[in-house]
A and B are shown apart, each in its own frame.
Chain A
Amino acid sequence: MRLFTILKLRLRTLLKSRRLDQELEEELRYHIDLEVERHVKAGMSPLEARRAAMLSFGGASQIQEECRDERRAAWFTGIGRDLQYALRNLRRMPGFATAVVVTLGLGIGANTAVFSIADALLFRALPLPQPERLFQVLQPDGPGLTGYGELFAIPDFADMRDRVAGYADLAAQTEPRQTMASVDGGQEEPIRRVAVSEHYFAVLGIEAAIGRGGGTEGGAESSQTPLAVISYGLWKRRFDADPSVLGRTIRVGKTIFQIAGVAQAGFAGIDLGTPTDLWTPLAVEPARTRSVRSIRIIGRLKTSATMAQAAAPLQAVLHQRMVEMVGHAPAGSPQSLIKRILGLEVKLIPAGGGISPVRGEAGRPLFIVFGLVGLVLLMACSTVGTLFEARHSARQGEMAVRMSMGAGRWRLIRQLLTEALLLAGAAGVVGFALARVTRPVFLALLTPFGPQLELPPAADGHLLAFTAAIGGLAVLLFALGPAWRSSAVNPAHALRSSTRLTSSGRVRRGRLAVVLEVSISMVLVLGAGAFARTLIHLSHINTGFDRQNVIVAGVRLRSVETEQRAARAWKELQERVSAIPGVESASLSSGSPFDGASGNGLLRIPGVASNNQGSLFFLASPGFFPTTGMRIVQGRDFEARDLEPGAAPVALVSESLARQAFSGKSPIGRTFSNLEDSPPRWVTIVGVVRNIKFGNLRDASPRVVYLPYTWPKPPQILSLVLRARRDVASLAGVLRREAGLTDPDLAVGQITSQTQLIDESLTRERMLASVGVFFGGLAVLMAVIGIYGITSYTVSKRTQEIGIRMALGAPRASVLAMILRESAIVVGAGAAVGLAISQAAERLVAALLFGARASDPATLLTAALFVLLVTTLAAFHPARRAANIDPMMAIRCEWGVASVETVSPLRPTVMGGFRQVEALERTQSASLPQSLRADARIFGDLVRHFFGRFFDKEALSPQGRPEAGVFQTLGLLIPPSGFICLLFMIGNPHGWQLVGLRFLLICYSMIVMGVVMVFEWEALFPDRRDYLILTPLPLRPFAILAAKFAALGIFLAMFLGAVNFFGVLLWPGVEGGNSYFQVAGAHLAVMIAAGLFSALAIAALQGVLVTVFRGVAYRRVSAAVQTVLMAGLILFLFVSPLMAMAIPNLCRTHSPFLHWIPPFWFAGLYEQMRPVVGHGSAQAGKTLAGLGSLAMRSIWIALALFTASFLPEYRRHARRALEISLPRPKGPGRIGRALSRAVAWLLGDPVETGVFHFIGQTISRSLKHRLFLATYAGFGAALAVMVISNGGGSVRAPLALSFVLVSGLRAAFNFPSDLRANWAFQVSETHSAAAYIRATRKWVMFLAVLPLFLLVAAIEAMRSPMPVVAFHSAFGVTVSMVLMEALFLGFHKVPFTCSRFPGKASLVFLSVLYVFGFTFYSSWMAQLEVWLWAWPLPAVLFFLVCGVGLVALWLMRERVLPSESGLEYEDDGNPAVRLLGLNE
């Protein structure tokens, strides 16, 4: 009640502030009036009374302001402060925030993506008037007439339409079909066509954009050309929205249609997912009988009618049909059946939302996918909830303090929820973006059988609402509970006691969440395993023929004048193709068993009662069976004489037919005929063929009748089936040429290999397996995060307890075991629940499995072991931490906040040092084995120390927590690589595409390793910090080297693993074929080799440098090389897609390029190593595979170089670095001094000069800034390469470069510099903001932009006339200045003077800026320049406006800024500096 009142008041404050102000004024006036009255009553004069009243009241406007403050304070500032506080809090823990946003974002994204599909499929009405009145008619269909079907026979439609006329208008249409059509007699192109009945457009209410919407009516009766209507989309796409399209013609097959109209915009047929391009009259379709069901019936209810009324007459038609059917029923049919048939009913379903196979009964995939993503969201919420709990527990002290200072419980909850909402909001944004990208993935999942759905994009409003709703739901799920519980602190209690006393409930809840997570991940992993095994089973199944080296080509005979000619053409084709070199044999058939082309029919066999089992009719030529490797088990193959006209008709049958129809007796010599033939044409069986799989690997082998292809007459379409030792691509040209030579009317269509056809039939299985693996991996990842979180939390809670245990003598091992045991119990419970659920859920997916079950012992064991292993590993680290607790510290630690930082094993300094000294003491007095053990322990500590140091980088983990760095870095690497891999799966690439993609993965591995090595460049050498370790301990430099390399090795392996994790899992799925582990193994081996090579090569380069150069020269050269390498790697990163695309060309031309670029070698190595399974290897070309040896050789060379140069130099260098005191830095030389004098003279102002120098010095001296700018330079170079290779020419490149330069500097200026310089500027903080800004601007202008354009001008001057160069340069400089002003708008500080990394937010902003800047800025500006060059007046105007604007801006800043006191810092820097009070 009170909450409601408050809410009302707040709303009033928000909406009616002016009225409230008036009321307040009135209230105060009233008060004063009363006061005056009182004084008057007491005897004062009115004037005096008023004066006294005003005096006692005080300042009225001040009171008003205070009242207003009270109103506002409760509302705005409260929220504002909450937000601010939340933001600050989250910024302090970027690791936590990133984990939450990524986890939730994944959950929300997946749900939003699926919703966007459901929205388009289920919730949106067709763009037609009164869609709710539309319905579709269904009739009983399917086996045993138990289901409903949507197809009717044309005569039924006519009957129904007449009967129902009083209640509804009916229309009919065929299913949309992809056909080839030619416009105005041009090239044939694919088009989706629907044949529709009369009044179709009128019934649906479709308007015409132009022409007649109802144009398809009545075209057929008259002899004129039939009319057709095209869709708006086709009109735009194919006819460029040409208004004079009416009257043009479209030929489909032999029929020519005249376009009579274009349908309204936005309408693409009523079939969702398969947009219709062309509507043609049903009347021109070949006449159909009652037995052929080919049309759907759609209707629109009349205004007053109901569905039930319309159903009655339709039912009557169906009933009549059923009565007829029962009349034809064979004698002796059971009465119950007849009764059931007569009782069947039609069904009317609403069709206002369109028709889709995904709806209704076939909609199960949608719900499975919805269930899956729902689970993912649930897991995300549970994981995040655990993280929140753990985090809140760390804040108990803070809560207690706030509460004891007067904050209410609601206030705390509001604060906590604000944080959660903020995170959920960010996750929502991530999810929304993710949903757009992943939509195709889910769309493909929904229609695994047919072609991909083409759905219109979902309405943004709906999506946003859904994302918001689901984000809110997530907040409720994950944040409300923790916030409610955390706010229930008793301040006195919490402040007094250590937190270990208050946490048992929390731990229990955390464990429950982990049980949930583990069980879900168990279900998903089991599912993934079952799907993967299904895939493996199916690809290993015996098809009954030899699929290797068989190539299938579709051939069409365009016109058949005489049968003789056709027969001759086919025969000649077979002979000619057989003679092609490399072709072992060639044959003709009605298709390959896996391209789905075959006829179907019933057989009439004398002496055998017909059972209603159909047989496939398959045409084949002599030689077909040996070519495909199908075995004839009895009788003979076709022979040439069987093809002669007039020869006795013969056939071969499959074993299954022989067994079933002839009950095992030899069928040879028996005859049969097609049941539909009257009079029967008898065919003699001459042989029996072994069973094969047909079209679908899952089904049992069907009954097949093989007939000579000339029977009953030579067909128009056949397939050439070849056995050849050549690949598809190399055969295509030859086949086409031979066909053309045989007969000009023969056209060769698609050419594929048999293996590819079989692989394509497994698309759905591969998709399911990979999606299962993806979701399973995701779930396991979340479970790992959850377990890690809860175990760390438990450990931090129990620090004291464990400390006491250890002090009482518990060995480390037992503590370790205790923690691990606890987590194992939780995980075991989760796994058991997961097993139970998966057994129950197995039925749901049973239809999708083959030869595998979730309850397979093998699958079960593997999944259980996998989950247990991974989750135990997740618990291991916190458990180790528990075991490493120092008893004394733990017991002394009073607040119980001896959390992560103080007990981390990665923290080497304090504890490690103690332990080392302790170990040393022991070594001196102990026996040999013990000292060895101690050495091993020291070594382990050293490795851990170096490993921690890799992550002890500002850029990686601002708060200096190594494990946050590890998780952050891996988290950044794994999802993108997983995503790329998943996209590969969707693209389902073949041939060169496949090689290119693999090349890309290899490149990325090498680049990541290279970048890591360059980043760790210094770590390859002993540095001063190592000295600190060496001094107290008598370690040899080589121990340090070995420890460093071990740490580096682990570090590199981690990165390599992260990049290739999903690749190794999913890649075999892309490759297809049948050897999952071989492909995975080859992938892994090549990635490791490639990564090893790049790491070794860079280390060897270091070695060479240190051997060749000495002292200062070495330092300079090494820094330069490092910078160049960084830029080069980034350039390579961006150029590698271009290189991947160029592979086929390079291989074809045997380009020398291939021999010079390492990734090609490793791509070649892969081609050598991969198991030969089919199409891919044949196409990859011998050229590439030939490079494989180079790869191995390169690794050896790099290793040799490394050993020869690096190792001997190391000791010398180490001694120099460690033993000789640091050289004193020399002051600037003569040139340097002259330069600074010049700069000082030019700039005048001393502060400005200082800033100017500071920028230059930081950029040239600081490694961090150098690497950062090198990265940008890499971007820039890549951009230039792309722009130039796209033919963008010289106009765009300089503009793009200036963009990179200016924005790069803007970003680099944000990086903190050396702390001392930072302080210097803070301390000298005076009123010189204007000088700082001036200096920054001038630096960018004179030392970056102008030199760039001078260089460009110098290059251009060699080939362009002077005016062009001048104009180009002037334009570039002007635009760059404008850009600089725009980018540096909010930059009110000395560059490099924030003492902190700028944070992820600005990084994201910068990358967004980059993407858009790259894409649009340079091309727009280039267009502008071209335009201005052509128009002098606007050009002058442009320069004038820019010039005046820039000068005005400059002057304005000069006027405004001097009055601005001090500078903005992104944070306060070191507060101690401010406390010094140096400013005053």
Chain B
Amino acid sequence: MSRPTDLVQGTLDLLILKTLSLGPIHGWAVGQRIQQISNDVLQVQQGSLYPALHRLEQQGWIRAEWGESENHRRARFYALTRAGQKRLNQELQQWERLSSAIGLVVKAV
């Protein structure tokens, strides 16, 4: 099975963290929201979403809790922890450095 390599792993983490920083949501909604916000440019492969969520949880960046969803079903909600907030800030900085550097290079050429 081929898997699109649109998103580098580190970037997916950043996207998830950023999305969760807006408030706790469940897994499906994470994918939906990334897609929404990016105007359908970024399509998160559903297969890689959950491993990523679990990895982030194991790292302690995010925390998962069972709650009731809008359609009154049991769903697993993910939220950012305080450590995750810090991590997000770090990653954002790095991202900015990287993107501006790339920008510079791209423009120069």
Contact = CB atoms under 8 A, between A and B. Distances in A.
A57 B46 contact: yes
B28 A70 contact: no
B97 interface: no
B23 interface: no
A894 interface: no
B33 interface: no
A70 B51 contact: yes
Interface in B72-99: 73-76, 81-83
B51 A6 contact: no
A70 B54 contact: yes
A34 B47 contact: no
B50 A9 contact: no
A729 interface: no
B8 interface: no
A70 B13 CA distance: 14
Given A2-B83, A5-B63, A71-B58, A27 B50 contact: yes
Nearest to B63: A5
A69 interface: yes
Interface in A21-47: 23-24, 26-28, 30-31, 33-35
Nearest to B56: A70
A74 B81 CA distance: 18
B55 A30 contact: no
Interface stretch (A60-68, A682-690, A930-938, A949-957): A60-68
Nearest to B66: A23
Nearest to A56: B46
A28 B50 contact: yes
A59 interface: yes
A26 B74 contact: yes
Given A23-B76, A69-B51, A34 B28 contact: yes
A27 B46 contact: no
Nearest to B30: A31
Given A2-B81, A62-B47, A63-B51, A30 B58 contact: no
B83 to A, nearest CB: 4
Nearest to A26: B74
A53 to B, nearest CB: 9
Given A9-B58, A67-B54, A27 B47 contact: no
A58 B1 contact: yes
A813 interface: no
A308 interface: no
B46 A58 contact: yes
Contacts of B27: 27, 30-31
A67 B28 contact: no
A1 interface: yes
B59 interface: yes
B28 A35 contact: yes
Contacts of B73: 30, 33
A69 B47 CA distance: 14
Interface in B24-82: 26-28, 45-47, 50-51, 54-55, 57-60, 63, 66, 69, 73-76, 81-82
Contact of A27 (B60, B76, B81): B76
Contact of A1 (B47, B57, B75, B83): B83
B83 A30 contact: no
A611 to B, nearest CB: 83
A31 B82 contact: no
Nearest to B26: A30
B83 A57 contact: no
A63 B50 contact: yes
Given A70-B51, A70-B55, A2 B60 contact: yes
B28 A30 contact: yes
A28 B63 CA distance: 17
Contacts of A66: 47, 50-51
A58 B63 CA distance: 25
Nearest to B84: A2
A58 B47 CA distance: 6
Nearest to A58: B47
Nearest to A68: B54
Contacts of A31: 27-28, 46, 50
A59 B1 contact: yes
A67 B60 contact: no
B84 to A, nearest CB: 9
Contact of B75 (A30, A56, A70): A30
Q: Interface centre among A1, A30, A35, A59, by most B CB within 10 Å?
A: A30
Interface centre among B26, B45, B50, B75 (most CB of A within 10 A): B50
A69 B55 CA distance: 9
B74 to A, nearest CB: 7
A1 to B, nearest CB: 7
A6 B46 contact: no
Contact of B57 (A9, A56, A75): A9
A288 to B, nearest CB: 76
17 contacts: A3-B60, A5-B81, A9-B57, A9-B60, A26-B74, A26-B76, A30-B28, A30-B74, A31-B50, A57-B46, A57-B47, A58-B46, A62-B47, A63-B50, A63-B51, A66-B47, A70-B55
Interface of A: 1-3, 5-6, 9, 13, 23-24, 26-28, 30-31, 33-35, 56-59, 62-63, 66-67, 69-71, 74-75
Given A30-B73, A33-B73, A74-B59, 9 more contacts: A2-B83, A6-B58, A6-B59, A27-B76, A31-B46, A59-B47, A62-B47, A63-B51, A74-B55
Interface of B: 1, 26-28, 45-47, 50-51, 54-55, 57-60, 63, 66, 69, 73-76, 81-83
